[in-house]
Amino acid sequence: MTNPDNPQNTKNYSEIGALPHGRPLQTEFNDGRDYPRLGSFSFRRGTLTDNQAALWDEHWPRLGKVLSDEHIDLDTWFGRRAPNGTIVEIGSGTGTSTAAMAPLEKDTNIVAVELYKAGHAKLLGSIVRDGLDNVRLIRGDGVEVLQRMFAPNSLTGVRIFFPDPWPKARHHKRRIIQSGTLHLIAERVKPGGILHVATDHAEYAEWIDELVEVEPQLEYLGWPEDTSDIPVLLDRQIITKFEGKGLDKNHVIKEYLWRKK
């Protein structure tokens, strides 16, 4: 059976950190809310260097997990009870922001969720090189990871930075910011916990604007001038390559904050 991360070899899907190819199993949410619906995945974007592959094989078993129906014991996984709890970052990409913010959040557990192995491999390299003991990785779709792997009221916050805007109208159903996703995040975050979203896509911002009050458990804060009472770090610390491309095109970055009531 061909491994989707490396279609030229014949290793099976039990390879470290691998996901099965094709359309994934998705939770059927029958609550009348809208949830993102995914297409098939092709994991042929990017390859690992020899050094990345060696680091992956050595460190993924301790630092990474693949989407499953396991509710994570965070204290055991991180080897501590974090004073400031746990933040989940959905769609961490290559982890540039994650790695930049983590040293300033040493008392917070950070879980970076990403589908693509090449992105996680770059972040894994930063974790090992910089000794970032407070970062862990999950490979899988963000909505399914939240639904299957985290208990209700278990998170201090969720971050979604520059999610795929899926600009074509027929693909809007794939956008992660939906009424159902906001509800799911509200269920997973503790009272007082924060959802932080950033986008530089104007039409996606308009889409989000229509949803800011849709989830009754979340108080929409906009982007307040005084953020001193926000219990999580808000400054991304660095302009990522993706973010920089948007700024070069004069895109306006819009940030959103919600707090669980």
Q: 107 labelled as ligand-binding?
A: no
User: Is 141 assigned to a binding site?
Assistant: yes
Find how far residue 150's CA is from the centre of its chain: 13
> Which is catalytic among the residues 69, 130, 164, 229?
164
Distance (Å, whole) CA 102 – CA 132: 7
- 89 labelled ligand-binding: yes
Active site residue 164: yes
Long-range contacts, 19-22 (Cβ 8 Å, 24+): 19/43, 19/66, 19/67, 19/115, 19/139, 19/140
Residue 122 labelled as part of a binding site:
no
106 is in an annotated binding site: no
- Residue found by looking up tokens 């932080």 in the block: 196
Q: How many CB atoms lie within 10 A of CB 152?
A: 11
241 is in an annotated binding site: yes
> Cα–Cα distance between 255 and 161 in angstroms, integer?
9
Element containing residue 197 per DSSP (H, E)? strand 189-199
Question: Measured in Å, how far apart are the chain's first and last C-alpha atoms?
Answer: 48
43 is in an annotated binding site: no
Binding-site residue ranges for substrate: 168, 200, 240-243
Binding-site residue ranges: 89, 114, 141, 164, 168, 200, 240-243
**Catalytic positions:** 164
